[in-house]
Amino acid sequence: MLVTVFRILCLCGILLSMYGRFVAESKKIDSSYRAACDFSSSFSCSKALVSEYSTGFGIVGPLLGEDHFLNISNSLYGIAFYFLLFIIGGARSQAMRLITLAAGTVSCVMSVWLAYILYAILHDFCLVCVATYAINAGIYTLSVMRFRQAAARPGKDPRHNC
């Protein structure tokens, strides 16, 4: 059950990231484009999705340069992240569960960083962004649950594999 919910969250993350990418590209092509999630000047996903913080998490460009290959759209990072988690999220090995837990932890830290930017710097509310933060929190929570669940089960004794 946990794996199913985990994978549904990953699929939702992929879809939201794809929509975020669509909004950003549409806004860059046509500055008058109005996304379905643009309700006002302070409640606008396109404002956040085309800001200077929408690539490289607002960190890569200043540190490594705007033309660095890692300074790509946060939405592209999201698509790759959720796709990889979808693939490894059902793994039974404790090592893969640990990787999933670490990825969930990093995604929550990045969500806090981006939420700070959204609120304190951009003075905006982005529905797509906040939804991805919630998905990241869900992924983290399920990763913790799966990790603890596996750790609580006693390991099989290899002498009893017959």
Q: Burial code of 145-162, b = ≥16 C-beta within 10 A, e = fewer? A: ebbeeeeeeeeeeeeeee
At 158 the pLDDT is: 37
Distance CA 142, CA 130 (A): 18
Chain centre distance of CA 62: 21
The H-assigned helical ranges of the chain are 2-29, 45-49, 60-64, 74-88, 94-116, 127-152
Intervals of the chain under pLDDT 50: 157-162
Q: Which two tokens stand for residue 44?
A: 């606008």
Q: What is the pLDDT of residues 34-45, one digit of tens each?
A: 999 999 989 999
Q: What is the pLDDT of residues 16-32, one digit of tens each?
A: 999 999 999 999 999 99
Read off the pTM. Answer: 0.89
Assign 64 to helix, strand or coil. helix
At 154 the pLDDT is: 61
